[in-house]
Amino acid sequence: MTNRIFSRCRCLLALGTVGLMLGTCSADESEIRKAVTFYASFDESLKADVGVGQRTPDTRFNHPTEKGQFVFEKGVDQKVFTIAKTKGIAAGALEAVDVLAKNGRIFYPAKENIAFKKDGWSGSVSMWCKTDSDKLIKAKFCDPVQITQKGANNGGLWFDFNDARPRDLRHGAFPMIPEGQKGIGENDPNAPMVRVPGIGWKSADWHHVALTFKNLDTGKPDAVTALYIDGKLIGEVRDRAIAMGWDIEKAGIYVSINYIGLLDEFALFDRSLTVEEVALLHKKPDLLSPLKKMAAPK
């Protein structure tokens, strides 16, 4: 009798464990939407649907005479960046048809749109891309997204297509460079990067890209950033001290840098999404669309 009771309890415990595992392996759509700090559906305009900070993009150019300095202009060139209302993975999409002169790039201010904290923070980026990585992109380098104050390799979170032939897709999480010091180069084997050689995207196909990051700016070697493509974990940068060190008043969420093609469903989150949540965003491209109805006008 005692053995039968013990056996039954052991079975119940096992079932409970399985149930717990199943629970932790699921992803809740509403919880994903709650984590959004910034969302641009690109259905009607370049104005973001969700964001506490500025929701309209501006443009940055290199200064014509002062090296390392920039000129900022309100708004964007609407001949280069348009809304393609029927071409998106979910309704409309941002379509970039050319490269801006003077190293121009468009950006949304990071202040109040990203979950940055000087003493430690986490977050995620999610977006859909449709381009030909080897035929459409003209420039040497192209960043569909780059979040930074000073530059890609000086406090920068990004993914790009490089100058290889065929092009590689790379994710970088480069810490800020202290004054008077030299930062690590992209070609260094220890550079904080994930590389996908010869990505070979074609213009007929949509691809989902997500970046997740946690424990940035903690001062401890416990940071982790990850690259996901089409719902699958590709690689991680981990167990490093990675500090962005931004002056958030000057940091920007740069999108479509030298990019030609379509971008859609661009979003930032206030935590590192789970593997299951990223997979769900890939499976349901319109998962964030309900946020448009919930967003307060601004």
pLDDT in tens, the chain (298 residues): 444 433 433 433 343 443 434 334 578 999 999 999 999 999 999 999 999 999 999 999 999 999 889 999 999 999 999 999 999 999 999 999 999 999 999 999 999 999 999 999 999 999 999 999 999 999 999 999 999 999 999 999 999 999 999 999 999 999 999 989 999 999 999 999 999 999 999 999 999 999 999 999 999 999 999 999 999 999 999 999 999 999 999 999 999 999 999 999 999 999 999 999 999 999 999 999 999 987 656 6
Tell whether 16 is covered by a domain: no
**Distance in angstroms (rounded) separating the CA atoms of residues 142 and 165:** 14
Q: Is residue 252 part of a domain?
A: yes
Q: What are phi and psi of 90, to 5 degrees?
A: -140, 95
Hunting for tokens 């699921």 — which residue is that?
26
In this structure, is residue 260 part of a structural domain?
yes
**238 domain-assigned:** yes
Range of the domain at 146: 27-294
Considering its fold, how many domains does the chain have in total? 1
Task: Flag whether 169 is in a domain.
Answer: yes
Residue 5 lies in a domain: no
User: Residue with structure tokens 């490269």?
Assistant: 99
Whether the Cβ atoms of residue 285 and residue 266 lie closer than 8 Å to each other:
no
- Angle at alpha carbon of residue 101, lines to 98 and 105, rounded to 5°: 75
Cis upstream peptide for 197 (omega within 30°): no
**Domain CATH for 201:** 2.60.120.200
> Strands (DSSP E) along the chain, which ranges?
36-40, 50-51, 58-62, 70-73, 81-84, 93-96, 105-109, 121-130, 142-151, 154-161, 169-174, 193-196, 207-216, 223-229, 232-240, 252-257, 261-269
In one-letter notation, the amino acid at residue 237 is V
